[in-house]
Amino acid sequence: MLSRIKKHAGEISKLYLWLPELHRKIVLGLTLFCLLLLVLPTASSSNFQVLNMPKLDDPQYQPIAETVHETINLPDYEWIVANGDTLGELFSLFNLSSTMSKILEADKNVLTLDVINKGDKYLFWLSEIDDFSSEQVVLIKMEQVLGIEHQVAFVRKGEGFEYKETLLEGEWRQQRIIGEIKKNSSFYKSAVALGLPATDVAVIGRLLKSKINFSRSTAAGDKFQIVLSSQFIGDQPTGNTKIEGVRFFNRSNVYSAFSYKGNFFDSKGEGLERAFTRYPVKGKFRISSSFNPRRRHPITKLIRPHNGTDFAVPTGTPIYAPGDGRVKRVVRHKYAGLYIEIEHSYKYRSRFLHLSKSLVRKGQRIKRGQKIALSGNSGASTGAHLHYEFHVNKKAINAMGSKVPIAIGVDRKSMLAYKRRVSDLIELMESKDISSIKNTASHSG
């Protein structure tokens, strides 16, 4: 694994003291290689700038102060995940296993460290060895780079860590995809061949499934018009896409779906997705802790956002899916306990923590109202309860608030704006002039 860890900082001679013998040799070899790169006038040499590490005897050095992170810009290490890697391996290599536990404690409120994908990047900022005899380094900050638009930083604050999530909206650029089903082909194959991501074809299939059966009722010659948006940060695509509108022509019928404020409707403004239920438990239960993004831990004073709503339910209480969706995670976390995450659409997802039992498996499609789990007291929990989270565009919101779509259908006062959006999208689909496709600075979809 070491060969994949890039070291950016200076002070190499001190830092490698705490590594095992074999690793020291590898580090020494890597160091020589890096030095070689430094003297070569290539662009890659800029990756290996020497850092000005804060001195421990410097009165300005405050190990927990934000200013330290501002003066240290480049990370000391970069780790690119390969197949089979675990975060635990890396932390134990650095002799930082106890630190990992503190990071996981902060992760309980954001849960981004459970899904480690090949190619993901992790950046580490370490302080100098604070005590030579213990051969220890101190982790100042770890950043998880989930994409160019999404990073989560775990920053040391005293004895613990706080997390800071960065989600950039960037710019959504529209693109038109127009075609027809080819002979001996299907809508799926024909649309993918024109560049529509397979996940978006699946979204269209689900949105229109109550209107048309794509595997049986469609035929060669059926036409389709799609407006797709792709997310960009600067000129770099993030890989995130979403459907803005689709029209499918089958015989003399037109089936359509248009997104408006993140939800899909037909041409008349009728919802194409099912609404959510407010509560994931049945019967009357006390809410023991409400959503509070600014909560602090009473003793450590660390910011510990309460990104969910706690229901005081006894262990074994059935939990029901608040909407249709797909199970993204069934994970056991040191602090969150056994938990489930459901993806409902591009926009919505929900999480259920401290469970005693999951009744679903990863990847499974589920229906609103389906029993998915039994509540419990697993992980770091002070008593049996359900912690329920609802996320909109990857951000936790108050599941008891007004942003949860418990009724789907364009409301009367938005109907005019919706009709205007539909006619804009249709104009784009029908336009002869491809240059009329405009980029949206903010996503209206």
**How many positions of this chain bind Zn ion (CB under 5 A)?**
3
DSSP state of 128: P
Minimum CB separation of residue 235 from Zn ion in Å reads 41
Give the residue with the Cβ less far from Zn ion, 59 or 298.
298
Q: Which stretch binds Zn ion (CB under 5 A): 68-76, 159-167, 380-388, 437-445?
A: 380-388
Does residue number 341 form part of the binding site for Zn ion (CB under 5 A)?
A: no
- Cα 53 from Cα 297, distance rounded (Å): 31
Minimum CB separation of residue 437 from Zn ion in Å reads 45
Give the residue with the Cβ less far from Zn ion, 297 or 367.
297
Q: Restricting to residues 227-246, which ones interact with Zn ion according to CB under 5 A?
A: none
- Cα 244 from Cα 225, distance rounded (Å): 11
**Ramachandran category for residue 301: left, alpha or beta (phi over 0 → left; psi -120 to 50 → alpha):** left
- Cα 232 from Cα 243, distance rounded (Å): 15
Site mask for Zn ion (CB under 5 A), range 400-419, x = bound: --------------------
Give the residue with the Cβ less far from Zn ion, 193 or 380.
380
Does residue number 387 form part of the binding site for Zn ion (CB under 5 A)?
A: yes
Q: Which stretch binds Zn ion (CB under 5 A): 47-55, 302-310, 358-366, 408-416?
A: 302-310
Give the residue with the Cβ less far from Zn ion, 272 or 386.
386
Contacts of 298 (CB under 8 A, 6+ apart): none
What's the gap between Cα 385 and its chain centre? 25
Cβ-in-10-Å burial (0-12, 13-18, 19+) of 127 comes to: buried
Tell me the H-state helices in 160-220: 187-193, 198-207
Minimum CB separation of residue 288 from Zn ion in Å reads 8
Give the residue with the Cβ less far from Zn ion, 200 or 341.
341
Give the residue with the Cβ less far from Zn ion, 308 or 322.
308
DSSP state of 41: -
Minimum CB separation of residue 306 from Zn ion in Å reads 6
- Cα 46 from Cα 38, distance rounded (Å): 8
Does residue number 310 form part of the binding site for Zn ion (CB under 5 A)?
A: yes
Does residue number 351 form part of the binding site for Zn ion (CB under 5 A)?
A: no
Does residue number 333 form part of the binding site for Zn ion (CB under 5 A)?
A: no
- Cα 433 from Cα 55, distance rounded (Å): 62
Give the residue with the Cβ less far from Zn ion, 273 or 310.
310
Nearest-CB residue for Zn ion: 387
N-to-C CA span, the chain: 43
In DSSP terms, which residues pair with 9 in a beta bridge?
none
Amino acid occupying residue 222: D
Binding site for Zn ion (CB under 5 A): 308, 310, 387
